[in-house]
Each structure stands twice: as C-alpha cells, then as structure tokens.
Structure 1
Amino acid sequence: MKNIKYYLAAILVILLASCEVNDLQPQTALSETTAFETPERIELAVAGVYDGGQSGFYLGGAVRGYPFGAAVHQQGDMRGEDMISTQLFYAITYENTYDPTSPNNGFLWQTLYAMINRANIVIEGIKKTRPSAVLTQEKLNEYEAECRFLRAIGHHFLLIHWSRPFSDNPTAPNGGVPYRTSSVGVVGGASVDEAIAQGRNTVAECYDKIIEDLNFAETNLPATRATNRITRATRAAAIAAKTRVRLHQGRWQDVITEGNKLAPQATAPFSSPIGSHSLTASPMGPFGAGNKNNSESIFSIENNDVDNGGVNGALPTMYGSSASGARGIICISPILWNQSWWLASDLRKSATMVQDDPVTAPGRGGKFTRKYADAVTRTDNSPIFRYAEVLLNLAEALARNSSGVDPKAVALLNAVRNRAVTNTADQFTVSSFATSTDLVRAILQERRIEFIGEGLRWGDIHRLSKDPNFDVGGIPAKANRGISNFAPLYTNNPATTFPMQPAIPYADFRFLWPIPSEEIVNNPTLAKQQNPGW
C-alpha cells in the first residue's frame, strides 16, 4: 500500500458509482457512517468496489485500467514470452529491469490493496446493517459475497506476482502477502498501526482465506442477473475462480469437483447448469461485437466510453494494431506463432482474429490480436473468467488425476480447440495421446493459444515453476524487444531464429516483484519482509 497513512486515510470515504455498474464514474462520496443508511446507498457502495477494480489510480491519479480494467492482463502478458512490448511502454516489465520504485509494479500492488480496502469497508458496513422488508438478509449476504469475491481474486493476483507458487514451501513464514479482511483507518476497522503490524501471511494461509471467501461467494451470489449479467459477480464466477485457484494449488480433485459444477456432462456439448454458460461457436465470440454480452464470458470488468483505461492503458489501444487506430504496443511473439502445435490453419491465426501492423508503424510489422476492437472509445470489457478457461482447467485436472488418457479431458480440450481447428484430420482423439502427460502438455499448449492477450500466461508460468514435467525454469527467454522488423519472423516454423532476451532462472530474486518502496518506507513490518534480493 502506497504510503499507508496517506493512502488509507484517503479511503475514509467510499467512492460511489451510480447504482448501475455500467456508469463507472464516481458520482460523489459519503463517509463510512452514512454510506449504509439506505438500500440505494449500499448499492452504490458495492458498485464503488467494482469501480476500484476497474479504475484505480496511477501516477498523478491517472486512470490506466488498474488493476482489473486492463493492467493485470498487460502485466501478465509482459512477464511471459508469448507477447512482445514493441515500445518502451512495458519495457521494464518485459525486460525484468524493475525495482521497488517501478510504477507499473508498485501501482498494481497499491490499487489491488485499495480495492481490497474498499471491499472491507463495505463488508463491515453491511454487517452493521439491520435487515428489513426492503433490504433482506439474503440481499445483504449477496452484497457481501460480491465484495468477498473481488477481495479473493485481488489477493490471488497479488500472490502470483509477489510470492512463490503454492508448490514451493507454502507454509514458509511471511512467504505470502498480507491477507486483509478488515478495513483500515475507518470507524470499526483496524487502525493504521494494527494494519502495519499484520505482516505477510504464509502462502497456504492466503489460499485458505481465498477459498473461504469464494465459498461464501458461491453460497450467496445469484445464479443469474437480469442486468449486468457478466459484469457483476455470480455463482458461476465464484466457482470459476475456485477452479483457477485450486489449479494453482495443484489440488486436482478439488478442481474436478468445482469444474463439474459448471461442466457436468461426460461429452460435448458442454454447458453450465449454473448461469447457462457455454462456449460460443466461434473463438471470436466473446470478443469484438460479442464483448458485452455472450454465453461464454462468466465475469468481466466493465469499461465504457467515459470510464476506461485511457489511451495509455486501455486494452484495445495497447493490444491493437496501429492499422485499427490503436497504438500497436503489445503484439504476438513469433516464439508462440511459430510453435508446431499452433497450426497455420488455426482460425485464431486468421485475419478475423489477427491484424498485421505496418512495418513503418509503431508495431514494426508485428501481429496483433483483434480481441479488443474499440480503439476509439475504448469500451471493450476486461475478461477475467471465461467458460473456455473452466473447461481447460477441468481438462487439465482430469488428465493429471488419471493414470491413463481421460476421455472427458480430451473432449473438454476439443470443445475449445475445435472451434478454431476445423480440419478433422487435425483434431484430437483419445488415441492421439500415448500418456496422460502428453494430454496435459496439449492442454497447456492450448491455453497459450486460447488466452493470448488475456494475461494468463504469467499465472501458468508461476504455478508450473516446480512442476516435474512442465517447469519452464523461471522467466522464459523472450524475443528481443529491439527487433526492427517482426514481419519476416512469423514463419510457422519453430526453427526460425531471431535475437532473444535471456531467461531468468526460477531461483533468481527477480522471479518475484519487490514490495514497492512506498510501502517499505511507511510500513516497518513489511520492510523487514521484503522479498529476498531486493
């Protein structure tokens, strides 16, 4: 947390959005003692927590999509090898030259904790509110569940950047992050001194608290919503989050238990009895024109024409080609493009989903995803959980939990892959895999293709870092950011070579981000618990 006394004092008010989440601009501010006096104000307070996730502060208070509106995607992709920062914009993250003063890292920490503190303020206010005929206990529990859902996924993003994975000594003292369940600096919450004294939990403790929050969310969230159906948390969103979190823990049976709630069928077509989620027919279905309303998106953070990440942060401006009016900053790396398992005929390589940037433009001939289409008004929602991820999470867990090649795992993989791989000869069958390990490898490869531009690559690198078969060894080698012309490098041939930035071993201190300097200066407890090497 940036300068804990300054930042937490600023949270003494609850920033309020309108009662519709699709108007994300803060309208006014109320003290924590008056924000929960009416049902309308509680609705506004909860919407304000979503707003904290969509438009947290940056240098000078600028909005750049911190933390969930865009930043978690961009930072997650820039830490991996499958996309390239063509400009200086993300060079610090891409080239691993960050330090405790780096703003992109620091503001992700600060805005995640700012959102978490908002959630805690609202939870505490709700708990003090007496139920009534117009505001039932069931509705109060639903509001609390939304806040606990956001609190849980916020802490999980903190863990994958500032802590070693669950597979690496999860009970080590101070290995996790501070898991904050009390507001700080407000009436009824913890004092600043109490917050400073808390220190870091263990990784295991953090995961236990995440699951506790998500279990509460699953129990108390609605299955469906008449409005804001993908931009307000639902029961399926909580379950989807648990499949991801349990995957990071390597708890395969728990992933299967949660995944089967949303995909209980033994064979395709798969659909969720909770929330009626299903894959769209096309891999582009959840994006472009379908970004705001589709069957596949389980939870997204809303952006609109008046509140978005701006020209310096919004998803379409960063990920889009300059040919579409975007800035051409983050392009697909030839490292991924040229892999033999990403077939040239895959529709996710087609002009429908990929756009070339002119060699003379900022993107230097790179290939850019079309997932985010609105580079002018920047209204594309930020995808957090999709049904495709749930299916692949479940597929991986089934494959890992089986001594042979699990037929359902193959069917789940095919359900996602065959939307884009339409040549029958190229599609998988159970006999395509000699062992379950081969099947897991194919699922992991599919994740790299399917979730390009959605920031999930770093999470996979992180969780697989101690995997006996799929450990990439740390931060992978990447294409050199200074390549002057990317266009000739997209050959569909894995033997193609080009200048590379060297890998960083897992044991290197740079695998983890440092706790930001503002926090260290103002928080003596965390100053003693800085990640080693920083």
Structure 2
Amino acid sequence: MKKTIINLAIFGAIVGTFTSCNRDLLTPIPQTSVSDASAFSTSSRVQGQLLSLYAALKAGNFYGGRFVIYGDIRGENFINETSNLVTGSDVWGMNATNSATAVQNLWSAAYATINKSNIFIDGMAATGSTVVGADLAGKYVAEAKLIRGLSYYSLLQYYARPYADGNGAKPGVPLRLKGIIGAGESNIARSTVAEVYTQILKDLNDAEASLPSSYTGAGENTTRAHKNTAIALKTRIYLSMQNYGAAITEANKIVSATAPFAAPTGVAHRLQADIATVFTNYLTTESIFSMPMTSTAGDSPGTQNQLAFYFSPTVANGGVGGGEYSLNPKGIIAEPTWKDTDKRRLFIKTSGTGATAKSWWTKYKTASPYTDYVPVIRYAEVLLNLAEAKVRTTNTVDAQAVALLNAVRNRSDAATTYTAASFATPASLISAIMLERQIEFLGEGLRNNDLIRLLETVPAKGTAPAKAATESGYIWPISSSELALNALITDN
C-alpha cells in the first residue's frame, strides 16, 4: 500500500507542475519528467505512466473533491454559508455560467484525465506492451479504460441532458479517444449522449474482461481498479440510462442472492458492521473504489477542494473545515423516518443555539491537509442500485429488494426492519429506497446523479430556487475554454 500511495504522490506532484504552466488544457500534459521517446522504455516507467492516471483522476478539481462536492451542493440538502463563487455558491444557486470556476475547472480536469488515459493507451499499443509483456499490458490498459470511462460518465452528469430525455439522442460531450499530441487537434463535435454511454460501457466491459480479480493487499483493492470495480460502476451507469435489466445483470455478479449480501467472486465485498468504520478505516471490503489522500506534499486535494473543508464547521464551531455548507434544516435531516437513534446521525454536528444553531456534516473528519479518502463507489450503493432496479423492472414489492434495503438500513438503524407489508405499492418501496440513498450517501456526491437521471426537479433550498428539468440551468453550460478552442463545439 505504501508503494502505491508514494507513486501516486510523486506523479500527482508532476502532473500539478506541468498543469500550472500549460494554458491549453486540451494539449497533452507530460506524464513524467522523461522524454516522450523513453516514457514507455522500461517497466518502471510504464507503471509510473499508469499511476499518473490515478493521480489525474484524484485531482482536487475532479474526483479528489470538487466533482463529489458539486454532486451534493446542487441538491437540496446543504445551505451555502459564504457566497463564495470559488467554492461553488453559483453551483449551489443553480446559476453557473460558461466561465464559472466550477464549469471550467471540472471540464478541464476531466479532459486532462481522459487525454492522459488516451496517451497511455496509445503508448502501450506502440511500445509499452512489448516492454511489460502482453498479460500485464492488458491489465494496465484495462485500468486506463476504466478511468477514461468513469471520466466520461462524470462529464455527462453536468454538461449533457440526462439519457431519459430523448433516449440519449441529445448532445453529449466531445468523444476524444486518441491522445492529443500537438496543436490543431482540438476541433471535434459533440457526440450524442447515447454514443458517449456506448463508449463508456465499451471501456468498462473491456476493463472487466482484462482487470485482475483482486490484488494482494487491501490498499490496492481499494485504490486501483479490479473486475468488481468495473462491475460496480456499470450498475451505476445502467441506472443512469434507466436500463434496469442490465443493472440487475451486473449487480448479480457481485451480490449474493440472499442476506448477508457479499460478492461471491473477486474482492470479498460486503457491508461493514458499523458505518463509522467506512470513514475511519478506508481500506475495508465495503470500499470498492476510493481516491487515497496522504499528508505528502502534492498528494492531498489542495486548497478549497477538500470534502471536510466544505462540509465541516470551522475550528471555532468544533470542526476542521471552512464552514462553507451547513445542512439544510428542511432537507433530508428533517425526514421523520430517519430516526434519532440511527448511527448515521452521529455524523451531524450542531453549532450555536436557538435561532443561530446550525447543523453540519462531519462524515469527513481529518483536519488540514485533509487526508480523508474520497469514496467513488461503495458496496452499499451496489445493493441499493440492485434494489431499485429490481422494483422498477418487476413493478412489484420485490422480496429481494426489501432485503437489500434492510441490509443498508439495519446496519445503522437496528430498530427498523421492513417487510413486504411495509409497502402498499411498488412506488412506495421505490420512495423508501430513494430516501435511503439520500441518507446513506449524503456528502458522497450522488444526489445530483439521482435527480437528473430521473428528470426530477432540483428542489429549492435557502435562497436558491427550484430548477425543473425543462429549465435553463438544469445542466451546466459548456466551458468557455472549450468554446474558445473548439470551432465545432456547440453550447447547451
């Protein structure tokens, strides 16, 4: 584990060094300090190239913080406290523009990760496979494809209409599949949403076929892609496409038919007995894929990108963060079925009294430099993905779906056990599953995904108005930097 994190830190620092002096974010960012000609010349250099892809993915402007944060603050469960555009007050207010910090930086970070993945895949085809051998090369390329697929999926969640709007026929994002190695390669039209999803699934299917079933240590099983990582992500992708039958097929690969639910193959994924363990011991079998952070220089999210900085109160109020976003008192914490005895309520911290009292979310607890691992996907999500897909497919109060819902709820709320009689209709069971998702994944960035995949109105919160699926601003505009560089791009 130490070796993996150290390598990520080294290559993360190198990525940051080159990014800071490169104004054209669509041009290639050098992968290491060696020349292009020798970048794939030895096994260690090839491995370094691969690990640099994870470093790009976990950048503070991407999966190291901002992507996850935006997924929550666009929803209804947080209140902006600082009116700071740098920390997403416009994202929260649903009025981000083409030149907004969030809109530009997330786009650039995602495409930088995609371009690095493309350069790696191209380099492996040219010389890298010969250097490391076909078997290891196949595994490495599979990791790169998973990272590329996840990056494209992430872009669709903000910059494109949901799949459900027109069955994927609306404009998606530019689909770049070759590494950009020179000027004049930026012009490319937007593919449709369906075309981008097709490529995402191709990448993830290719990845599943070639990735290892597991690694020797818990660290790599959490921070590097393996077969179950690809499968788990596909359950999320298919839910976003409302292809519930395919979501069930994928989930059944890693979820046993009955409780206690566990993955029968590959890494032995299962829920932890205590939700708190997942956010103190980052390497449990519940954490399918996470972004590791350490105190090594260049290996933490960076200023104003950190989850704890956004959601935790200031030190003066008993926290470790900047007090950027408090919990909306009218949001999910007001849900009456979320009982006071539920262990997940221990993540709520209250500061002040009376009219000045505020609640904060302390799921992420480490102080600066904020070394909480950032969750990408957990086994709990796979269980609830399967539960939702089962009910939507069968249109019944499905017994397995109830059991899956119970597995997640009972882990934190032992006093609540659902039965089929608890739900008068399939719709009432769906409602319970969606509420459970809000509670279980609060602060993990999934709320935006869940709202837009179902074309639901983004609810109002504080001074921010509701935003219906038909309104301007439901999705983000295209980054102004892309519009300036790409003559074929069209805006939302």
Deviation for aligned residue 1:305? 0.7
Native 8 Å contact 1:2 1:519 kept in 2: no
Find the aligned partners of 1:271 and 1:148 in 2 and give their Cα distance.
Answer: 23
TM-score (norm 2): 0.90
* Partner in structure 2 of residue 430 of structure 1: 420
Deviation for aligned residue 1:32? 2.8
Find the aligned partners of 1:390 and 1:9 in 2 and give their Cα distance.
Answer: 36
* Partner in structure 2 of residue 340 of structure 1: 336
Native 8 Å contact 1:300 1:385 kept in 2: yes
Deviation for aligned residue 1:35? 0.9
For 1:403-482, what aligned pairs fall within 5 Å after superposition? 403-423=395-415, 426-465=416-455, 471=456, 474-480=457-463
* Partner in structure 2 of residue 274 of structure 1: 266
Deviation for aligned residue 1:205? 0.5
Considering only aligned residues, what root-mean-square deviation do their CA atoms show, in Å? 2.2
Native 8 Å contact 1:319 1:331 kept in 2: yes
Native 8 Å contact 2:118 2:179 kept in 1: yes
Native 8 Å contact 1:3 1:521 kept in 2: no
* Partner in structure 1 of residue 10 of structure 2: none
**DSSP-derived class of the 1:7 partner:** coil
Deviation for aligned residue 1:442? 0.7
Native 8 Å contact 1:53 1:66 kept in 2: no
* Partner in structure 2 of residue 397 of structure 1: 389
Are 2:354 and 1:356 aligned? no
Provide Cα deviations, 1:271-304, integer angstroms capped at 9, x if missing partner: 44221010000122210x212x111000001111
Deviation for aligned residue 1:146? 0.7
Native 8 Å contact 2:308 2:364 kept in 1: yes
Find the aligned partners of 1:10 and 1:203 in 2 and give their Cα distance.
Answer: 25
Find the aligned partners of 1:230 and 1:404 in 2 and give their Cα distance.
Answer: 35
**DSSP-derived class of the 2:40 partner:** coil
Q: 1:202 to 1:364 in 2, by over 3 A?
A: farther
**DSSP-derived class of the 2:473 partner:** helix
Deviation for aligned residue 1:324? 2.5
**DSSP-derived class of the 1:268 partner:** coil
Provide Cα deviations, 1:390-420, integer angstroms capped at 9, x if missing partner: 0000010011111321111111111011111
Q: 1:143 to 1:364 in 2, by over 3 A?
A: farther
Provide Cα deviations, 1:281-340, integer angstroms capped at 9, x if missing partner: 0122210x212x111000001111122123422122222222123222222222211122
Native 8 Å contact 1:318 1:327 kept in 2: yes
Are 2:99 and 1:105 aligned? no
Q: 1:213 to 1:417 in 2, by over 3 A?
A: same
**DSSP-derived class of the 1:140 partner:** helix
Find the aligned partners of 1:364 and 1:93 in 2 and give their Cα distance.
Answer: 25
Deviates more, 1:451-460 or 1:429-438: 429-438
Deviation for aligned residue 1:265? 2.2
Deviation for aligned residue 1:270? 3.4
**DSSP-derived class of the 1:229 partner:** helix
* Partner in structure 2 of residue 530 of structure 1: 491
Find the aligned partners of 2:353 and 2:114 in 1 and give their Cα distance.
Answer: 43
Deviation for aligned residue 1:434? 1.8
Native 8 Å contact 1:215 1:238 kept in 2: yes
Q: 1:478 to 1:459 in 2, by over 3 A?
A: same
2:216 aligns with one of 209, 226, 229? 226
Find the aligned partners of 1:530 and 1:456 in 2 and give their Cα distance.
Answer: 25
**DSSP-derived class of the 1:238 partner:** helix
Find the aligned partners of 1:76 and 1:232 in 2 and give their Cα distance.
Answer: 23
**DSSP-derived class of the 1:275 partner:** coil
Are 2:468 and 1:510 aligned? no
2:40 aligns with one of 33, 36, 41? 36
**DSSP-derived class of the 1:392 partner:** helix
Letter in 2 for 1:7: L
Find the aligned partners of 1:427 and 1:375 in 2 and give their Cα distance.
Answer: 36
* Partner in structure 1 of residue 300 of structure 2: 308
* Partner in structure 1 of residue 81 of structure 2: 86
Find the aligned partners of 1:10 and 1:235 in 2 and give their Cα distance.
Answer: 29
* Partner in structure 2 of residue 138 of structure 1: 135
1:180 aligns with one of 176, 182, 185? 176
1:520 aligns with one of 476, 483, 488? 483
Native 8 Å contact 2:160 2:173 kept in 1: yes
2:189 aligns with one of 180, 199, 207? 199
Letter in 1 for 2:49: A
**DSSP-derived class of the 2:64 partner:** coil
- In structure 1, the gaps of 5 or more residues are 17-28, 56-64, 187-191, 466-470, 481-500
Deviation for aligned residue 1:453? 0.4
**DSSP-derived class of the 1:367 partner:** strand
Letter in 1 for 2:237: V
Native 8 Å contact 1:272 1:278 kept in 2: no
TM-score (norm 1): 0.83
Are 2:51 and 1:47 aligned? yes
Find the aligned partners of 2:387 and 2:327 in 1 and give their Cα distance.
Answer: 25
Letter in 1 for 2:25: Y
Are 2:74 and 1:76 aligned? no
**DSSP-derived class of the 1:298 partner:** strand
Deviation for aligned residue 1:517? 1.2
**DSSP-derived class of the 1:108 partner:** helix
Deviation for aligned residue 1:178? 1.0
Letter in 2 for 1:455: G
**DSSP-derived class of the 2:445 partner:** coil
**DSSP-derived class of the 1:237 partner:** helix
Deviation for aligned residue 1:367? 1.9
1:375 aligns with one of 367, 382, 399? 367
Once superposed, which parts of structure 1, at least 4 consecutive aligned residues long, lie more than 6 Å away? 1-5
Are 2:252 and 1:252 aligned? no
Deviation for aligned residue 1:354? 2.1
Are 2:311 and 1:319 aligned? yes
**DSSP-derived class of the 1:337 partner:** helix
**DSSP-derived class of the 1:88 partner:** coil
**DSSP-derived class of the 1:388 partner:** helix
